[in-house]
Chains A and B, each alone.
Chain A
Amino acid sequence: MSDRADLLQGTLDLLILKAILPAPLHGWGISKRIRELSYDVLQVNQGSLYPALYRLEDRGLVRSSWGISPEGRRAKFYTLNAAGKKKFAEEKANWRLFTNAVEQILHAT
């Protein structure tokens, strides 16, 4: 379990930030959204998701507040703040750089 979390460490943050970019979501919502957006390829383990959320909150990139979910339940919603948005832009650029580099290596002959 923990092995995969480590592997996803950098990307998981990016995915979470992307998931809550349009609108605040609760934990389960984030995991569902990531699953949907990736067409069920990426399954975010909750053992990694919540610690990641708390970590992002600790770093001051997301804010959390209690509210009522669309399903009518009391849930904790995570919102991206200004620092989080900036961080997302940075992380996205980094990711592009990284994947392009890997692509080039793989395409090299």
Chain B
Amino acid sequence: MNSFPWLTVLGLVPLIGSVVVALLPKSMPLLAKQLAFAISLVVLGLVVVMALQFDGQSEFVFQFQESYDWIPAFGVTYSLGVDGIALVLIALSAVLVPITILAGWNDVEQPQSDSVGSVKGYFALILLLETMMIGVFAATDVFLFYVFFEAMLIPVYFMIGRYGGAQRSYAAMKFLIYSLVGGLFMLAAMIGLYVVTGTFNFTQILLGAGIDANTQKILFLGFFLAFAIKAPMWPFHTWLPDAAAASKPGTAVLLIGVLDKVGTFGMIRYCLPIFPAASDFYAPVIIALAVIGVFYGAFVALGQNDLKRLFAYSSMSHFGFIILGIFVFTTIGISGATVYMIAHGLSTAALFLTAGYLMQRRNGSSLLSDYSGVNKPAPVLAGFFLFAALSSLALPGLVSFVGEFMVLLGTFQRYMWVGGIATLGIVITAAYVLRVYQKSMTGAVGSGLEHIKDLTGREISALVPIAALTIFLGLYPAPVLNVINPAVNTVMVMVGATDPAPTVGLISTTSQGAQQ
């Protein structure tokens, strides 16, 4: 293996960039934007180079590993490393950050008063957040993970609280306290884990003797609660609509597109392998909550009049699918959940960015009832909006379909009725997504919308990469699947689950026997 500290460098570049951007004089907002964009592109380039060196067939679960002592007295190490799942999520963040910067180029204006932040501050915070996101996905030490997990809140808190809309203080505070409550439970569980295993290092925890089942059940809850709040899972979701409604579109993209994935990522990375018995024990409850979330989110989205809140509830519905896929313990389900995370990141980005473009053209109003017939004056905007909508409803041929279908198939394999019921969700998804499109884009042009401008070159260039990736990975998901499948297999082995075999016909060699 190479010894170049890829992950540390990857985390440091945006961090240094963030500091540099923050130190620029306030009077040079353009330079701050350009610099931030350039740095995010450098990170993206580094991620691409790193991903190309990732060995999908390797016997090592974690690659690009680094490990240094940090607080030896408590067995805390600075350990980084990525498996396939972490790699694709890092890649997702690296893709979305430059897109967000480009799309949000004019989202922040030079402040008139002190209560709102400066232009450079916004972009510095985005870069700082990127460091945190890379760190949280790359950490292989539970303590380090926790540090990033909590530190991530700081830039987001300021991005909502200083740059958001009317309800920004309320939303930022709600977000912060909600997340901190979750983090507190995780902290307690983490200390418990240390007491039981004597280390914070993820690999060593796994190598050590298994944890007693009853202890697992308690510790699992601490971790899971934090992840369920972050994901967000029903009924811990109410911070999300407020946060999404109060934030800038770019903030919402990073918040829902990447940050919330930390929750579902944590479930795959920490809950399942460390607490297999507890995962098994709680799975029925979690699956029930996930299915409730799928339908609950979809039905509430059907009745929303605020675009951002609507997309937040739709995300909650999608997160229901992801959590469902994780907790059915089938290879197809977990792989599907991972693909779904990528797909959801892309489709959410497309939705929020197009909605943001739309709102910008009408004084920032996010009310659905303020829009109609936009297709006439701005066909390109309407076209991208439709694309985002289709991506959100998992049209076959787009990457969201790959994720959603695999999740449903994996669920059906294990619990036929749950899979069957969850499949009905695709109808409601179509209903609320197309309702938005129909109301806002079609029909007679609403008053005040006759002369709105269509998308500019900059705005389109932020959306094109998303659309291209969505289609490309939908038709050819192999680059992602090749990388995540070995990681998923490892998770399956750790959980001790095997895939149900087909009842008749060709029994493939990878699956023996029915459910354990």
Same complex for A and B? Answer: no
